[in-house]
C-alpha cells in the first residue's frame, strides 16, 4: 500500500518503468486490433476506429510521461509486499472460480472464505471451512430463493426443494 | 406541473408501504455495509446493486437511494471511531471526530455528524429538486459537441485537477477509457478489442470493475501490508446527546457546510472531498475556539460532514439532468439506471418524470429514516466495527463474488472439463489491477468513471462529427463548448502550477499534521 510520501531516494524506479512499458503495450494492442477492423468507407471519418486510436495515442503519451516520472523516482514510496497472504487470497478466488460451476456456490465460497481468513492469519482450515460453508449456504438461500438471483447450485443446494 | 407539485406526487409515491419498506431495507443494508472498515460509499453501492436487480425500476431506485445515504452515514461512523476513513471524503471527519472520540466525546461527534448529515441532506435534496429543472432546461439547448465538451471537462476534473499527480490521474482515466472500448460498438455493431471471446462482446460491467478495484484491490493491499497498523475501535462513552453548547456551535457549521458542499457537488467537478476540505478550512477560520482545532473541535466534524452529504446530493444534479457521473458512486448509480434501460439526462425528466421525482422524494424519506434509526442504533454499528479482520475480509470477498455472480452467473468459461464463470475471472484480474494501482499511488475513481463515461462521450463525439460530415471544427464552434474547454484548461493548468510552485510548503504541512 502506498503511503503517500514521496520516494526520498529519487533513484530511477524500475517497477514504474514496467508500468510505462505495459501502457505502451496496451496502446500497441489497441492499435493492432483496431487496424484489423474492416470499416466501410462511408464510416471512414467518424467510424468506430477513431476513438480507439485517440485513446492509444493518449496511452503512448502517458507511457512516455510515466517513464520520465520513473526516471526521476517521483512515485510514492512502497512498502515491501508480504506475499503469503496475497497468495492465499488470490488462491481462494481461483479455487472458488473453479469449484463453483460444479460443486455449487456454498462449497466454492466456503473455500474462498477459509482461504482469505487463512491469509489474514485465522485458521485452521478444518474449522474455517465449515464456518464459511454455513455462511455461504445461508447467503445462497436468502439471495437465490428470497431475491431470485441466479446463483450456481451444486449437489448440496439441490437438496433444498 | 411545477416543481412543487411534482415533488409532492413523488412523496406520495415514496410513502406507499411497499416503497417505505424498500427504503428502510436500503438504509439498513447501506449503513451496515458502509460502516464496515475499508468499505466506502462507492463499494457499498456496487456490492448492493445486485440486490435490487429483481425489483421494478421505481422500487429498485428507491432502495438505491436508501443504500446511497446509508452508506455515506456508515462511512462517517467508521472514520470517527476508527480513524481509518474508507473514502477520501471522510478524511476530514476523521481529523477532528477521532480526536473527539479519544477524549470520550464519541457520542456527540456521531450525533453532530448524523444530525448535520440530515440537515444537509434535507436542504440539498430540496435544492436538487429546484435546481434540476433549470439545468434540464439549459441542457435541452446542448448539442452533441457541447455534451462532448462537458464530458471532457468532467474527465479533466475527476482525473487531473485534484489528487497528488495529474499524470497518474490521467493514466487511471485512460485505463478506464481503454476498457470502455471493449465490446460491440453500438452504432455499427462491430466488435472491438474482444479477441474473439464471446463474453467480452457485452463489454466490461461497471459494477464488476468497481467491486474488483475497490473490494479485491483493497483486500490484497491490506493483506500484503507488512506493517500491521494498530487499529483500535473507540468505545462510545457517556451520553450520545449533544450539550447546549455543542448545538450552538454545530448549527452554523452545518449550514455553512451545506452551502459549501452542494454547489461543489452540483458542478461537474467531481469528488465530495473538495467540499469537506473547504468547509474544514472555513470552520477553522471562523471558529471562536481555534485552539481546539486538531484537538477535537465539534465544528470540524459538523461542517465537513454536512458538506460531504450536501455534495453527495449535489452530484445527483449532473447525474440526473445531464447523465454525467462525477464520482465513482455516481458512476455505479448510472450503471444501475442503465440496468433498466434508463439513460439519465434531460429526456429522463420529461419521459419518466414520476420515476425521477419518486427517487428525489425517497432521498428525503431515506434521510429522515437514517436520523430516526441511527442514533439509537449506534451501539449496533459499533459492534460491526469490531469484527476481526480475517472474518471481515473473508466476508467482503464472499459478498463481492456473490454480487458479481448475481449480475452474470453464466458458467461460460471452460478449463478442460471444469466450467467456470468468466465474470469471476474478470473480477480477479481487475482485483489485481486495483492492487497495483493502489501500490503505485494511482487513483481508482477515474478508472470507473472512464469506463462508463468513455462510450457515452464517444457517442456524442461521433454524433457531432456525423452532423458536420467529419469536420472536427464543429467541436469548437459553439460558445457553450468553447467556454467548457476553457474551464477544462484552467482546471488542468492551475493545479499543475500550484503543484510546481507550492509542493514544498504542502509537504511540510502534511508532515506537521502527523501525530
Distance CA(B323)–CA(B135), nearest Å, equals: 12
- pLDDT value at B236 more than 70: no
How large is the average pLDDT for residues B165-194?
Answer: 88
Model pLDDT for residues B289-317, shown as the tens digit of each residue: 777 777 778 888 888 888 888 888 888 88
Nearest CB to A51: which of B222, B411, B461? B461
Q: Which of A29, A54, A78 is the last residue of a domain?
A: A78
Say if the Cβ atoms of A79 and B171 lie within 8 Å: no
Stated as kind and residue range, the H or E segment containing B91 is helix B91-102
Say if the Cβ atoms of B418 and A76 lie within 8 Å: no
Q: Which residues contact A160 (CB under 8 A, 6 or more apart)?
A: A141, A145
In degrees, rounded to 5, the angle at the alpha carbon of residue B249 between the alpha carbons of residues B247 and B253 is 105
Q: Which residues contact B474 (CB under 8 A, 6 or more apart)?
A: B145, B464, B465, B467, B468
Say if the Cβ atoms of B421 and A48 lie within 8 Å: no
The number of angstroms, rounded, from the C-alpha of B249 to the middle of its chain's C-alpha atoms is: 28
Say if the Cβ atoms of B220 and A112 lie within 8 Å: no
Q: Report residue A3's pLDDT band, with 50, 70 and 90 as the boundaries.
A: very low
Say if the Cβ atoms of B193 and A30 lie within 8 Å: yes
Model pLDDT for residues B17-52, shown as the tens digit of each residue: 888 888 888 898 888 888 887 787 888 888 888 777
Q: What is the CA radius of gyration of chain B?
A: 22
Stated as kind and residue range, the H or E segment containing B98 is helix B91-102
Model pLDDT for residues A21-31, shown as the tens digit of each residue: 999 999 999 99
- pLDDT value at B230 more than 60: no
Say if the Cβ atoms of B415 and A98 lie within 8 Å: yes
How many structural domains does chain A have?
Answer: 2
The reply to whether A58 and A88 lie within a common domain is: no
pLDDT at B308: 85
Question: Residues B310, B124: contact at Cβ < 8 Å?
Answer: yes
Q: Report residue A32's pLDDT band, with 50, 70 and 90 as the boundaries.
A: very high
Q: Which of A78, A112, A139 is the last residue of a domain?
A: A78
> Among residues B78, B43, B29, which one has the least CA distance to residue B400?
B43
How large is the average pLDDT for residues B267-284?
Answer: 75
How close is the nearest chain B Cα to the Cα of A139, in Å?
9
Q: Does A81 touch chain B (CB under 8 A)?
A: yes
- pLDDT value at A34 more than 50: yes
pLDDT at A1: 39
The Cα-based distances of B223 to A89, B217, B218, B288, B404 in angstroms read 8, 10, 8, 44, 22
Nearest CB to B226: which of A82, A100, A112? A82
The overall average pLDDT reported for chain B is 82
Domain that holds residue A23: 2-78
Q: Which of B201-215, B270-284, B491-505 has the lowest mean pLDDT?
A: B491-505
> Which chain B residues have a beta carbon less than 8 Å from that of A6?
507
Domain that holds residue B42: 3-513
> Which chain B residues have a beta carbon less than 8 Å from that of A64?
none
What's the pTM? 0.86
How close is the nearest chain A Cα to the Cα of B185, in Å?
7
- % pLDDT > 70, chain B: 90
> Which chain B residues have a beta carbon less than 8 Å from that of A39?
188, 190
Say if the Cβ atoms of A151 and B406 lie within 8 Å: yes
Q: Which of B145-149, B389-393, B510-514 has the lowest mean pLDDT?
A: B510-514
Nearest CB to B398: which of A37, A94, A139? A139
- pLDDT value at B87 more than 60: no
How large is the average pLDDT for residues B118-124?
Answer: 90
Say if the Cβ atoms of A94 and B428 lie within 8 Å: yes
Say if the Cβ atoms of B418 and A98 lie within 8 Å: yes
The reply to whether A70 and A87 lie within a common domain is: no
pLDDT at A55: 94
Q: Is B195 left (phi over 0), alpha (psi -120 to 50) or beta?
A: left
How close is the nearest chain B Cα to the Cα of A98, in Å?
5
pLDDT at B410: 74
pLDDT at B433: 95
How large is the average pLDDT for residues B134-145?
Answer: 86
pLDDT at B183: 87
The reply to whether A97 and A66 lie within a common domain is: no
The reply to whether A111 and A138 lie within a common domain is: yes
Q: Between residues 28 and 57 of chain A, which touch chain B (CB distance below 8 Å)?
A: 29-30, 33-34, 37, 39, 43, 45-48, 50-52, 55
How large is the average pLDDT for residues B424-442?
Answer: 92
Distance CA(B60)–CA(A3), nearest Å, equals: 39
Model pLDDT for residues A61-105, shown as the tens digit of each residue: 999 999 988 888 778 878 888 888 899 999 999 999 988 888 888
- pLDDT value at B172 more than 90: yes
Q: Which range, A86-100, B53-67, B198-212, has the best average confidence (pLDDT)?
A: A86-100
DSSP string, B8-27: HHHHHHHTSHHHHHHHHHHH
Q: Which residues contact B252 (CB under 8 A, 6 or more apart)?
A: B286
Q: Which of A55, A78, A101 is the last residue of a domain?
A: A78
- pLDDT value at B209 more than 50: yes
Residue among A81, A111, A132, A141 with most chain B CBs within 10 A, to mutate: A81
Q: Which range, A4-8, B317-321, B491-495, has the best average confidence (pLDDT)?
A: B317-321
Q: Report residue B514's pLDDT band, with 50, 70 and 90 as the boundaries.
A: very low
- pLDDT value at B266 more than 60: yes
Say if the Cβ atoms of A147 and B54 lie within 8 Å: yes
> Which chain A residues have a beta carbon less than 8 Å from that of B171?
23, 62, 65-66
How close is the nearest chain A Cα to the Cα of B460, in Å?
11
How large is the average pLDDT for residues B455-471?
Answer: 86
Q: Which of B118-122, B215-219, B293-297, B422-426 has the lowest mean pLDDT?
A: B293-297
Chain A with chain B: Cβ pairs closer than 8 A: 217
pLDDT at A7: 47
The overall average pLDDT reported for chain A is 84
Residue B244: strand, helix, or coil: helix
Question: Residues B309, B121: contact at Cβ < 8 Å?
Answer: yes
Nearest CB to B171: which of A62, A92, A143? A62
> Which chain B residues have a beta carbon less than 8 Å from that of A147?
51, 53-54
The more confidently predicted of residues B352 and A8 is B352
How many structural domains does chain B have?
Answer: 1
A131 → chain B, closest CA residue: B391
How large is the average pLDDT for residues B96-109?
Answer: 81
Rounded to 10 degrees, the C-alpha dihedral B326/B330/B336/B341 comes to -30
The ipTM value here is 0.90
Distance CA(B148)–CA(B454), nearest Å, equals: 10
Residue keyed to cell 464488476? B208
How close is the nearest chain A Cα to the Cα of B322, in Å?
22
Say if the Cβ atoms of A81 and B388 lie within 8 Å: no
The Cα-based distances of B213 to A37, B63, B433, B445, B468 in angstroms read 30, 24, 7, 9, 39
pLDDT at B237: 62
pLDDT at B272: 56
How large is the average pLDDT for residues B472-485?
Answer: 87
Say if the Cβ atoms of A81 and B440 lie within 8 Å: no
Q: Does A76 touch chain B (CB under 8 A)?
A: yes
Say if the Cβ atoms of A85 and B223 lie within 8 Å: yes
pLDDT at B436: 93
Q: Between residues 113 and 152 of chain A, which touch chain B (CB distance below 8 Å)?
A: 113-114, 116-122, 128, 132, 135-136, 139, 143, 147-152
pLDDT at B505: 44
Amino acid at each position: 500500500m502506498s503511503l503517500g510520501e514521496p520516494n526520498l531516494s529519487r533513484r530511477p524506479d524500475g517497477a514504474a518503468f514496467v508500468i510505462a512499458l505495459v501502457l505502451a503495450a496496451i496502446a500497441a494492442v489497441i492499435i493492432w486490433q483496431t487496424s484489423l477492423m474492416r470499416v466501410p468507407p462511408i464510416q471512414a471519418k467518424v467510424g468506430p476506429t477513431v476513438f480507439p486510436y485517440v485513446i492509444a495515442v493518449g496511452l503512448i503519451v502517458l507511457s512516455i510521461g510515466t517513464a520520465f516520472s520513473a526516471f526521476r523516482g517521483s512515485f510514492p514510496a512502497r512498502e515491501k509486499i508480504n506475499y503469503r497472504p496475497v497468495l492465499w487470497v488470490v488462491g481462494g478466488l481461483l479455487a472458488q472460480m473453479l469449484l463453483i460451476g460444479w460443486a455449487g456456490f456454498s462449497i466454492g465460497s466456503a473455500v474462498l472464505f477459509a482461504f482469505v481468513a487463512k491469509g489474514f492469519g485465522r485458521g485452521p482450515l478444518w474449522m474455517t471451512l465449515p464456518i464459511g460453508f454455513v455462511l455461504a449456504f445461508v447467503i445462497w438461500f436468502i439471495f437465490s430463493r428470497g431475491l431470485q438471483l441466479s446463483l450456481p447450485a451444486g449437489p448440496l443446494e439441490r437438496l433444498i426443494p | 406541473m411545477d416543481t412543487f407539485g411534482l415533488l409532492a406526487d413523488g412523496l406520495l409515491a415514496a410513502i406507499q408501504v411497499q416503497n417505505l419498506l424498500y427504503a428502510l431495507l436500503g438504509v439498513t443494508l447501506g449503513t451496515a455495509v458502509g460502516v464496515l472498515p475499508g468499505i466506502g460509499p462507492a463499494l457499498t453501492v456496487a456490492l448492493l446493486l445486485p440486490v435490487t436487480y429483481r425489483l421494478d425500476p421505481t422500487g429498485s431506485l428507491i432502495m438505491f437511494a436508501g443504500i446511497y445515504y446509508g452508506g455515506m452515514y456508515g462511512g462517517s461512523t467508521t472514520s470517527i471511531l476508527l480513524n481509518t476513513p474508507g473514502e477520501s471524503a471522510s478524511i476530514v471527519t476523521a481529523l477532528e471526530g477521532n480526536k473527539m472520540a479519544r477524549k470520550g466525546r464519541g457520542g456527540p461527534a456521531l450525533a453532530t455528524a448524523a444530525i448535520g448529515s440530515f440537515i444537509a441532506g434535507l436542504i440539498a435534496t430540496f435544492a436538487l429538486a429546484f435546481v434540476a429543472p433549470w439545468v434540464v432546461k439549459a441542457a435541452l439547448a446542448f448539442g452533441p459537441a457541447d455534451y462532448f465538451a462537458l464530458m471532457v471537462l468532467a474527465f479533466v476534473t475527476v482525473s487531473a485537477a485534484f489528487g497528488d499527480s495529474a499524470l497518474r490521474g490521467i493514466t487511471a482515466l485512460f485505463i478506464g477509457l481503454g476498457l470502455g472500448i471493449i465490446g460491440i460498438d453500438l452504432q455499427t455493431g462491430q466488435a472491438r478489442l474482444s479477441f474473439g471471446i464471446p463474453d467480452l462482446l457485452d463489454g466490461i460491467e461497471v459494477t464488476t470493475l468497481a467491486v474488483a478495484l475497490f473490494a479485491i484491490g483493497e483486500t490484497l493491499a491490506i493483506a500484503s501490508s507488512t506493517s500491521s497498523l494498530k487499529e483500535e475501535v473507540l468505545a462510545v462513552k457517556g451520553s450520545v446527546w449533544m450539550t447546549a453548547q455543542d448545538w450552538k456551535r454545530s448549527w452554523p457549521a452545518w449550514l455553512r457546510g451545506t452551502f459549501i458542499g452542494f454547489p461543489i457537488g452540483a458542478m461537474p467537478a467531481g469528488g465530495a472531498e473538495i467540499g469537506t476540505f473547504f468547509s474544514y478550512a472555513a470552520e477553522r477560520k471562523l471558529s471562536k475556539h481555534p485552539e481546539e482545532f486538531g484537538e477535537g473541535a465539534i465544528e470540524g466534524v459538523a461542517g465537513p460532514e454536512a458538506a460531504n452529504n450536501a455534495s453527495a446530493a449535489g452530484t445527483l444534479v449532473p447525474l440526473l439532468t445531464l447523465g454525467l457521473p462525477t464520482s465513482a458512486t455516481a458512476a455505479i448509480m448510472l450503471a444501475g439506471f442503465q440496468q433498466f434501460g434508463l439513460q439519465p439526462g434531460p429526456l429522463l425528466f420529461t419521459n419518466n418524470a414520476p420515476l425521477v421525482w419518486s427517487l428525489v422524494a425517497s432521498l428525503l424519506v431515506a434521510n429522515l429514516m437514517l436520523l430516526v434509526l441511527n442514533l439509537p442504533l449506534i451501539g449496533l454499528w459499533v459492534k460491526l466495527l469490531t469484527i476481526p479482520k480475517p472474518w471481515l475480509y473473508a466476508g467482503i470477498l464472499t459478498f463481492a463474488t456473490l454480487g458479481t455472480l448475481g449480475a452474470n452467473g453464466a458458467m461460460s468459461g471452460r478449463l478442460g472439463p471444469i466450467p467456470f464463470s468468466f465474470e469471476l475471472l474478470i473480477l480477479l484480474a481487475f482485483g489485481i489491477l486495483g492492487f497495483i494501482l493502489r501500490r503505485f499511488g494511482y487513483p481508482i475513481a477515474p478508472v470507473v468513471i472512464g469506463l462508463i463515461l468513455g462510450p457515452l462521450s464517444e457517442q456524442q463525439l461521433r454524433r457531432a462529427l456525423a452532423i458536420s460530415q467529419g469536420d472536427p471544427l464543429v467541436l469548437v464552434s459553439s460558445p457553450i463548448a468553447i467556454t467548457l474547454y476553457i474551464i477544462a484548461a484552467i482546471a488542468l493548468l492551475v493545479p499543475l502550477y500550484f503543484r510546481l510552485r507550492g509542493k514544498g510548503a504542502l509537504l511540510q504541512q502534511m508532515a506537521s499534521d502527523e501525530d
